[in-house]
Amino acid sequence: MKSSTNALGGRHTQCSICNLVMAVPEDVAAEQLGCSRCGAMIQRRKPNSLPRTAAFLLAAAICYIPANVYPIVEITSFGYQQSDTIISGVIYLLLHGNLALGVIVFVASVVVPILKIILLSMLLISVQCRSQWRPRDRARIYRIVEVVGRWSMVDVYVVTILVALLHLGSIASVEVEQGAIFFSVVVVLTLLAAQSFDPRLIWDPIEDGDE
């Protein structure tokens, strides 16, 4: 019998929706219980967490390349055409615009997506190997990844606003390019990857001693 500090340890289980902690009778599997408070089915761990996270991450990593290679917008103003990729847009903002805003966009659209893919892959591998290495820090990394990921949407929104504003024919117009599609798909895929990962798996190999 495992220690009872963990809800997987046998005596208790926790509803993943409303967090109610319930006692599990000895002859019943927790998965057969419904939550007495919110009625949800009890799922001790997110179903197929590792393969689903891995699939979303792989797809995100593949789309990340065209997202950065192809331009995201083409702006025409006064007959002059300019197309921007994610990177060139950031560089422009850093050089000509507001430095603080440039840094935010650089972090949000260049650093965050790639860091998120790398960190989630590392978490995935560590869980797959049932690693016992610094679970507290790995748990913190997951929480940061979860919070920061949404900020990558900034560039998609900038494109949206440009498209909405600049439709003045020959004077100024904006064409959305393939890069924007891939980029927004990358952001959504990494969000889905983070949501499918179950941080409780980090703690499953670590059961005894520390408490």
Site for another protein in 70-99 (CB under 8 A): 77, 92-93, 96-98
Per CB under 8 A, which of residues 5..64 are in contact with another protein?
5-8, 12, 14, 16-21, 37-40, 44
Residues 120/145, Cβ–Cβ less than 8 Å: yes
Which C-beta is closer to another protein: that of 38 or that of 129? 38
Task: State which of residues 29, 65, 122, 171 lies at the interface with another protein (CB under 8 A).
Answer: 171
Per CB under 8 A, which of residues 103..122 are in contact with another protein?
104-105, 108
Tell me which stretch binds another protein (CB under 8 A): 56-64, 112-120, 126-134, 184-192: 184-192
Per CB under 8 A, which of residues 141..160 are in contact with another protein?
142-143, 146, 150-151, 153-160
Which C-beta is closer to another protein: that of 116 or that of 200? 200
**Could you give the residue ranges of the DSSP H alpha helices within 49-148?**
49-69, 86-96, 99-106, 112-128, 135-148
For CA atoms 134, 128, 23, 209, the dihedral sign is negative
4 lies in the binding site for another protein (CB under 8 A): yes
Q: Which residues pair with 172 in a beta bridge?
A: 77
Least Cβ distance, residue 59 to another protein (angstroms): 14
Task: State which of residues 34, 65, 140, 144 lies at the interface with another protein (CB under 8 A).
Answer: 140
How many chain residues are in contact with another protein, going by CB under 8 A? Answer: 71
C-alpha distances out from residue 14 to 23, 45, 75, Å:
9, 10, 53
Which C-beta is closer to another protein: that of 121 or that of 195? 195
Contacts of 166 by beta carbon, 8 Å cutoff, 6+ apart = 75, 77, 172, 173, 174
C-alpha distances out from residue 202 to 14, 144, 206, Å:
17, 15, 8
What is d(CA 35, CA 43) in angstroms, rounded to the nearest whole number? 10
